[in-house]
A and B are shown apart, each in its own frame.
Chain A
Amino acid sequence: MDKQTILNVHETMLVIRKFEERALNLFETNKLRGSVHLSIGQEAVAATVGAYLRDEDYITSTHRGHGHAIAKGARADRAMAELMGKVTGYCGGRGGSMHIADVDKGNLGANAIVGGGIPHAAGAALSAKMRGTDQVAVTFFGDGASNEGIFHETLNMASIWKLPVIFICENNLYGMTTNVERVTSVKDIAVRGAAYDIPGVVVDGNDVFSVEKAFKKALKRAKAGDGPTLIEAKTYRWKGHWTGDPEMYRSRDEVSSWKEKCPILRLEAHMIENQLLTEEQIRTKHQEIDQLIDEAERFALESPEPDPSTVLDNVFDEGDQ
């Protein structure tokens, strides 16, 4: 990874982390409602993948999707406004946290149905292939989603048609409250690729370089017309499944042991060691992002509510060919 990319990935991870910390804070102070799922601890996956995608490439995301949206170019202010249901939000307040889409930047949406976005990425990849472009599609999903039929159906379909799609499973060890081991037939979800003749790779999801290596290879394969790759990124979510989760299913020790593997601190250590940034510069960067999030919060709070007379807008597209 070149220096500029490292700096970009670092910044993206900081934006995701601080955006979500603020979202949690706003939720706890009743400035934000609904279902908010945080990806704190998992930032390396989204940020690294995002760094290697262009605006014209596609992603589909999940209920835990703030990081994916930000990594694909979403602005913190409009994302925060969407969390507050404001008219300036990405979806005009219609979608909320679980549905942020940013189609101009290739984000075909977060999704509140576990596995729901997986076939959309295959469809976008098929579309790219049919239109003769070199666009690729990436779909993020969790360990839990890999037990849904749609995961298996889509892998098979993407394989036989050699679609330029990359399947990224963020295995954070839990589907809601259930440990992956209790409900999953395999230790490594990546091996499920073999059933569909798709290469499956396990990576350390808390290490940007580990993600980078596998993802670049998958990109190359997709663009060469050789078809999909399944990447399983082992990672961990620090916060509850949703804001308000009593977390009775895991121990404090487990959580703190994963906090020691913080992907951001890890990258920062690397940056200091390799003299990419000084500690002082890193501190300044943090302050910059804190300000960005302050502004995002202010923007969201000050933005207007949707006009009630527009409630029926966009049930249908009124145009046709």
Chain B
Amino acid sequence: MREITYAQAIQEAMSEEMRRDQNIMFMGEDIGVYGGAFGVSRGMFEEFGDKRVRDTPITELAITGCAAGAAMTGLRPIVEIMFSDFMTLAMEQLVNQAAKNRFQFGGQAAVPMVLRTPGGSGTGAAEQHSQSLEAWVCHVPGLKVVIPSTPYDAKGLLKAAIRDNNPVVFIEQKLLYRTKGEVPEPGDDYIIELGKADIKREGSDLTIITYGRMVPRALEVAEAFSQKGTSIEVIDIRTLVPLDTEALISSAKKTGRVLIVHEACQRGGYGGEIAGLIADSEAFFYLDAPIKRLGGLDVPIPYNPNLEAQVVPTVESITKAVNELL
């Protein structure tokens, strides 16, 4: 199979969907000729023109609200928010409006929109361009939340998100944009259903539950442990909402040891939700050790590269956490 980057996979998903359905449009800041801050949409402006690939003013709140209004009236907008940190400026429209419009109207409207945005640290962009804010949106009923870790998943999940009739927050991982992976040929219209976790590596002694950029790290740790005879299962949840609870519970029952890893700050992070879910389930009776969370330190992302690397889970800190559980 051919290999393409995570960024190309996202671009292909958008372009293929836009060729399929005229009502899909894409808008955001500097997404046109420039192709977006991370070059994800390069080439789309040339193919689809300035109406369907629409550069917007720097106005995250109005972009999001405009998308919600367009979504309720026949379009299927994809919005790019340049950095996920800027979702904070769009929150009113995302949280109070898009997420609730269908419910509060008693089902009279659907809001089929996708808000794509890159999250995560590791680029030296410091406190206001590096956050992982997924827990904020996971907390809001009415929003679906997706964070892919491979080009294959990114393409299949984004297509599913675009076809979904609900607002979907699709958080991309800056540090994965240039990573490559196998993806079927463009004509092969595959979809990855939202709400399905993926076992990225099977194992029997311990489960690491993770997503996004921490998936490759968890896999690296699992590989190292396999050399020493410990078999680690790595589950990539892929969609945080809806969550594949079944897959998590059955893996926890199988291995009896669970480590949850994410880059976002540990306090109030989504790992707490996953831990609670497992503790509340029948898997509790199969556990041989407490459920362990390993999130980012509860600190803003610092600028200095050494400090920056230190505040999110690393291969070393994941390894240490695994050892504590064994």
Q: Which residues of A contact B (CB under 8 A)?
A: 58, 60, 89-95, 99, 101-104, 108-109, 111, 113, 116, 118-128, 130-131, 137, 149-150, 153-154, 156-157, 160, 313-317, 319-321
Contact = CB atoms under 8 A, between A and B. Distances in A.
Nearest to B64: A119
B75 A160 contact: no
Contacts of B65: 116, 118-120, 122-123, 150, 154
Given A92-B106, A94-B106, A58 B165 contact: no
B163 interface: yes
B92 interface: yes
B110 interface: yes
A109 B74 contact: no
A160 B62 CA distance: 13
Closest 5 CB pairs of A and B: A123-B69, A119-B65, A120-B69, A92-B106, A153-B62
Interface in B60-89: 61-77
B107 A314 contact: yes
B142 interface: yes
Contact of A321 (B21, B75, B105): B21
A113 B69 contact: no
Given A119-B65, A131-B23, A320-B165, A126 B75 contact: yes
B70 A124 contact: yes
B97 A113 contact: yes
Contacts of B104: 91, 94-95, 99, 101, 109
Contact of A123 (B52, B73, B106): B73
B149 interface: no
Nearest to B96: A113
A105 B298 CA distance: 49
A157 B69 contact: no
5 contacts: A58-B73, A95-B105, A101-B101, A153-B61, A321-B21
B177 to A, nearest CB: 27
B61 A315 contact: no
B107 A108 contact: no
A315 B73 contact: no
A319 B73 contact: no
A120 B109 CA distance: 13
A92 B109 CA distance: 13
Contact of A315 (B21, B59, B141): B141
Contact of A130 (B51, B61, B64, B67): B51
B107 A124 contact: no
B75 A157 contact: no
A317 to B, nearest CB: 4
Given A153-B62, A321-B21, A119 B142 contact: no
Looking at B66, B71, B102, B108, the one whose CB has the most chain A CB atoms below 10 A away is B66
Contacts of A123: 65-73, 75, 77
Interface string B170-189: 00000000000000000000
A315 B106 contact: no
Given A123-B66, A130-B25, 7 more contacts: A92-B107, A95-B106, A122-B66, A149-B61, A153-B61, A156-B62, A320-B160
A116 B69 contact: no
Looking at B21, B23, B57, B105, the one whose CB has the most chain A CB atoms below 10 A away is B105
A95 B96 CA distance: 13
B57 A156 contact: yes
B70 A316 contact: no
Contact of A108 (B69, B75, B165): B69
B93 A103 contact: no
Given A103-B108, A109-B104, A157 B66 contact: yes
A44 B165 CA distance: 37
A59 B86 CA distance: 28
Interface in B271-315: none
Given A116-B97, A122-B69, A127-B75, A108 B62 contact: no
A95 B109 CA distance: 13
B27 to A, nearest CB: 9
Contacts of A137: 69
A109 B102 CA distance: 10
Contact of A126 (B69, B76, B97): B69
A321 B165 contact: yes
A116 B92 contact: yes
Contacts of A130: 23, 25, 51-52, 70, 75
Given A113-B97, A120-B97, A150 B75 contact: no
Contact of B68 (A99, A120, A313, A315): A120
Contacts of A150: 61-62, 65, 92-93
